[in-house]
Every structure is written in C-alpha cells, then in structure tokens.
C-alpha cells in the first residue's frame, strides 16, 4: 500500500538550458582567440561584399531590409562559382552563416524555394537551409580541422531558436511537433551536447528510457571540458543519465539488473558531488537510495540511511520520507520507522509522506504512531476514503494489542466510525502535484470526483501551511460535477514559508 504521489523522476525543464548555445559561443570565441584557424572573408570581392551584407543583416533593422541583405549575400556567393574558387573555404563559411540567418526567418520549416532567398539559378527548386549549412560547415571541418570552434559557433547560432522552440513544445507535451523541431536541430548538429540533450529529452518523453540514457551519456562525453561546474546543461545531462539508467534497469533481471543499478548509483553520486546544492538534490538522493536498494548493496544503502538518521537536519522532508519508503521496500522496517519519525520531525504535514509513514507503522505494528499519523491524515485530507481506512486499521491494531475489555470496545467503536466515514465520503479528493518549493507561491493540483448519484457543485477550500501547521494562505475553487464525474483542480497559495496543505471537509 505504499504510495508516493510525486514520482522520483523529475525531468529538468528544458527552457532552463536554452542559454547554453550562447555559453558555447563564448567558449568558442575564447578558443578562437588562441586557435590557428584563419578563414579569410575579405576576398574575392564577392565574398567580401556578401560578408558586409550579412553583417548589416545581423545588426538588425526592418525585417524586409534584413531579408534584402541576406538575399544579396546568397546571390553574391552562388551566382558565379568561378569568382570565389580561390577562396572556397571563406565562401562556404559566409554562405553557411547566411543560410543559418535565413533559417530564423522560417520558423515552421527550413525547406524553401531557392528563388525566395537569393539563388539566381534553379529558383523553383527547394533547398533545406540547415542541411545545406551543415554540409558547408562539415566541409570546412574536414579541410580545416583547426577551425572547428568557428564552425561550432555557427551551428550554435542555428540551434538557439530551435532549442527555445523545442523547450516550449516539450514542456507542453506537444511531442509530434517536438519531434520535427528536434529533428531539424539535429540536422545542423547531431553530436553536440545541447543537441544530444534534446534528443534524450525526446526519447524520454517517448518512454525509451534506455535510449534516453545513452543519449544523455553521449551528451556528457561531448560536453566541453571547459563547461563550468554549475552549468545547467551539465546538471541536466548528469541527472537525466542517472534517472534513465535507473528506470531502464528496472525491467532487467539478475546480474544485468544489478550492474545497471550500480551504474545508476554511481551516476547519482556524481550528480550529487557536482551539484550538492541543486534543487534536484532531493530527487537524486532518493534515486540513489532506490538504485542501491535494487542492486542489493545493502551495506551502502544502510550507510546512507544511517547517515541520514545521524543528522536529519541536513536533509529535506522529501528526502527523509523517500528514504523511509525505500527502507520499507527493502523490508528494513526498524530503519524505515526511524526515518519516518525523522521526516515527521522536519515536516509533520506533508500528506504523501504521512500516508507512507502510516503504512510503515502499520506493517511494523507500531499502533500508537500509526493512529497519531492517521488522525493527522484525516484532518489534512478529510475527503479521501483511503485515509479513513488507515485510521480504521490503526484502531483495529490498538484493539488487538490490549486485553482491557473497555478499551477493546472503545477502539472497535472508533474502528466502525472510521470505516463508516470511508464509505460516506461524498466527493473524493486526490492530489497530483505540489510545486514551487522555496518560491513565493506553491501550486497544488489534483482531482475531485463526485461519488454520488446526483450532480453537485463542489467548493474546495485549501489552506496552505507552514512547518508549524499555521495557515499562511487560503484559496477556494468551485467545480461543477455530474454524477460520478471527475475533474481536475488547481489552486495557488502565496507565501515563501508554505511547505504543506490541508483542505476543509466537503459537505
């Protein structure tokens, strides 16, 4: 009956790293200052003039004027090949930049008619701007390997708007559109860290955990050695690699599963070492415990739990509740109980954690703790039959643990009241997410379900609480429900000290 509403796997919001191509450009330019690359863009006149027009277009101005300059640059670089034969590399470099700049003018598709962008021959034929730019840059990489920093900078410019677009689509689960955008992003650069990150994100959204892990791993290997330690991209790749390795290993058996879980544990350890203050450290800590538990490394996971119990103040409420859940799963009931005790000392109001704690105390036969926790659960979550069932089980355990006839009758009476309450709940409230920790507001989402045979207007009032259970903010939402209908709700409470919630009983 262990239940944890918030999944251990939390993907990084892709929009957090769209600045990485800009960072890459800065690194590329710094490298260029000391590189031996020398690409001439001032001869012959056709290349020099095209470079001037490209520069003017990059500066800005009216869109129509930018397009005019870009079209002139394309004409100058393609109309008479014999003119720039003496400087093919310079011509290819300027043309690639021009096509990349053109691609920003066509956000939906980079395949356009040649005539629309300045070609004077084969005007009605199509050209893929990014594929052509990639071909030109790849030719430079092959003939001038000392210039890869310069070509990488051009690729980064092409990827930036695509990364922003892909981020938005992935964040709204628009996978079909995201597929197309990431495909275009990969077309200009399939092997850079940023490209591999988005390919991994897409594989993750398509439930290909093994493929996503491989792509994140490749992205890490492709990451520049100069990547700063607090790089969002590096953090996203490291945590993504660990998460997907853990998930993909769950379907394995025997030694393969053990090997996969140990690898996931090592990846989580690396992330925690590199980013100890990350807001995702709690998720990584939970993932580490899960990986060690599944690997059978009881010694390491035991040391991890003992360290948490030695100084619970170093850990968040979610980390402690998650650790207790992992210990329960590993059938380490005494440790699980102590971890749940520690978690409640940090935050006695976190509803998903309390539900898990009540289950731990139940299996451990700790009826007093279970009863106290179940009572708090029903005060926080008064319209959920599951909570009253736990309360009934706690009273049942108390009745069996005593030989006093009066107490037995009293506990059995309370058991019956709790059980009846579970069957009389008019509307069932369940929760899905509780987001925004450490910010000025917390958003709670979930569903309300009409369990009755008549239509009902449901008024849900949510109190947002601090660590002491004091109400920081209250919000009310009304939902109209047909018989047996379920609908989502979302409420947001303002207050940086909010760490939990409860709601008023629905009548």
Domain boundaries, the chain: 428-503
Gap between the Cα atoms of 216 and 237, Å rounded: 5
Per-residue pLDDT, 441: 85
Superfamily of domain 428-503: Immunoglobulins (2.60.40.10)
Q: Supply the DSSP string of 284-333, one letter for each residue.
A: HHHHHHHHHHHHT-HHHHHHHHHHHHH-GGGS-HHHHHHHHHHHHHTT-H
Per-residue pLDDT, 226: 65
**465 and 500 in contact (C-beta within 8 Å)?**
yes
Residue 138: how many CB atoms within 10 A of its CB? 13
Backbone torsions φ then ψ of 500, nearest 5 degrees: -160, -175
The region, left, alpha or beta by phi > 0 then psi within -120 to 50, assigned to residue 436 is left
Q: Is the dihedral of CA 100, 104, 107, 110 positive or negative?
A: negative
Q: Can you give the three-state secondary structure of 54-70, one letter per residue? A: HHHHHHCCCHHHHHHHH
The residues near 402 (Cβ < 8 Å, ≥ 6 apart) are 408, 411
pTM exceeds 0.75 for this model:
no
Gap between the Cα atoms of 187 and 134, Å rounded: 7
Enter the DSSP assignment of 11: P
C-alpha closest to that of 362 among 385, 396, 339, 329: 396
Starting at the edge strand found earlier in the chain, the sheet holding 471-481 runs 471-481, 456-465, 500-503
Tell me the H-state helices in 129-280.
129-143, 148-171, 175-188, 193-205, 209-222, 232-249, 254-274
The residues near 331 (Cβ < 8 Å, ≥ 6 apart) are none
Q: How, if at all, do strands 427-435 and 456-465 pair?
A: unpaired
Token pair for 213 = 């892990």
Token pair for 363 = 């299996």
Per-residue pLDDT, 49: 94
Enter the DSSP assignment of 13: P
Gap between the Cα atoms of 37 and 35, Å rounded: 5
Helix, coil or strand: residue 478 = strand
One digit per residue, the tens of pLDDT, for the chain of length 507 reads: 444 333 333 344 344 444 443 333 333 444 444 558 889 999 999 999 999 999 999 887 888 999 999 999 999 999 988 888 899 999 999 999 999 999 888 877 778 999 999 999 999 999 999 999 999 999 999 999 999 889 988 998 888 888 888 888 887 778 888 898 898 888 888 888 889 999 999 999 999 999 999 999 999 998 877 665 558 889 999 999 999 999 999 999 999 999 999 999 999 999 999 988 887 887 788 888 889 888 988 888 888 889 889 988 888 888 899 889 888 988 889 999 999 999 999 999 999 999 999 999 999 999 999 999 999 999 999 999 999 999 999 999 999 999 999 999 999 999 999 999 988 888 999 998 887 655 678 999 999 999 999 999 999 999 999 989 999 999 999 999 999 999 999 999 998 899 899 999 987
Gap between the Cα atoms of 476 and 490, Å rounded: 10
Gap between the Cα atoms of 229 and 304, Å rounded: 25
**326 and 286 in contact (C-beta within 8 Å)?**
yes
Gap between the Cα atoms of 67 and 357, Å rounded: 64
Tell me the H-state helices in 104-174.
129-143, 148-171
Gap between the Cα atoms of 458 and 485, Å rounded: 12
Place of tokens 């949510």: 462
Per-residue pLDDT, 69: 95
């Amino acid at each position: 009956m262990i239940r944890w509403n918030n999944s251990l796997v939390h993907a990084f919001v892709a929009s957090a790293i769209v600045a990485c191509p800009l960072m890459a450009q800065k690194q590329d330019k710094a490298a260029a200052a000391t590189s031996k690359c020398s690409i001439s863009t001032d001869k012959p006149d056709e290349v020099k003039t095209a470079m001037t027009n490209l520069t003017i277009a990059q500066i800005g101005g009216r869109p129509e004027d930018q397009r005019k300059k870009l079209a002139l640059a394309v004409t100058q670089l393609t109309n008479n090949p014999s003119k720039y034969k003496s400087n093919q590399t310079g011509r290819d470099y300027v043309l690639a930049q021009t096509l990349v700049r053109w691609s920003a003018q066509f956000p939906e598709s980079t395949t356009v008619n040649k005539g629309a962008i300045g070609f004077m021959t084969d005007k009605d034929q199509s050209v893929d701007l990014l594929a052509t730019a990639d071909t030109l840059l790849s030719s430079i990489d092959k003939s001038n390997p000392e210039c890869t920093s310069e070509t990488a900078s051009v690729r980064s410019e092409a990827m930036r708007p695509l990364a922003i677009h892909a981020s938005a689509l992935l964040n709204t689960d628009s996978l079909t559109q995201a597929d197309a955008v990431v495909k275009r992003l990969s077309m200009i650069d399939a092997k850079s860290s940023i490209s591999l990150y988005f390919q991994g994100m897409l594989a993750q959204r398509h439930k290909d955990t093994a493929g996503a892990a491989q792509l994140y791993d490749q992205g890490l290997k492709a990451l520049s050695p100069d990547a700063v330690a607090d790089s969002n991209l590096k953090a996203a790749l490291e945590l993504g690699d660990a998460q997907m390795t853990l998930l993909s290993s769950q379907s394995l058996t025997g030694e393969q599963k053990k090997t996969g879980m140990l690898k996931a544990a090592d990846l989580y350890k690396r992330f925690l070492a590199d980013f100890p203050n990350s807001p995702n450290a709690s998720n990584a800590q939970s993932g580490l415990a899960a990986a060690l538990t599944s690997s059978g490394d009881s010694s390491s996971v035991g040391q991890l739990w003992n360290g948490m119990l030695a100084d619970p103040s170093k850990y968040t409420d979610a980390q402690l509740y998650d650790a207790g859940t992992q210990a329960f799963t590993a059938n380490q009931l005494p440790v699980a109980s102590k971890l749940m005790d520690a978690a409640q000392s940090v935050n006695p109001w976190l509803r998903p954690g309390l539900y898990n704690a009540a289950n731990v105390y139940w299996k451990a036969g700790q009826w007093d703790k279970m009863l106290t926790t179940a009572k708090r659960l029903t005060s926080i979550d008064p319209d959920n039959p599951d909570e009253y069932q736990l309360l009934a089980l706690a009273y049942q355990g108390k009745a069996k643990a005593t030989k006093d006839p009066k107490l037995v009758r009293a506990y059995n009476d309370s058991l019956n009241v709790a059980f009846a309450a579970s069957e009389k709940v008019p509307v069932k409230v369940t929760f899905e997410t509780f987001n925004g920790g450490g910010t000025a507001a917390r958003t709670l989402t979930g569903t309300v379900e009409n369990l009755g045979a008549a239509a009902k207007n449901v008024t849900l009032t949510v109190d947002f609480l601090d660590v002491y259970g004091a109400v920081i903010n209250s919000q009310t939402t009304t939902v109209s429900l047909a018989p047996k209908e379920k609908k989502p709700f979302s409420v947001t409470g303002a207050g940086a000290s909010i760490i939990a919630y409860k709601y008023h009983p629905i009548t």
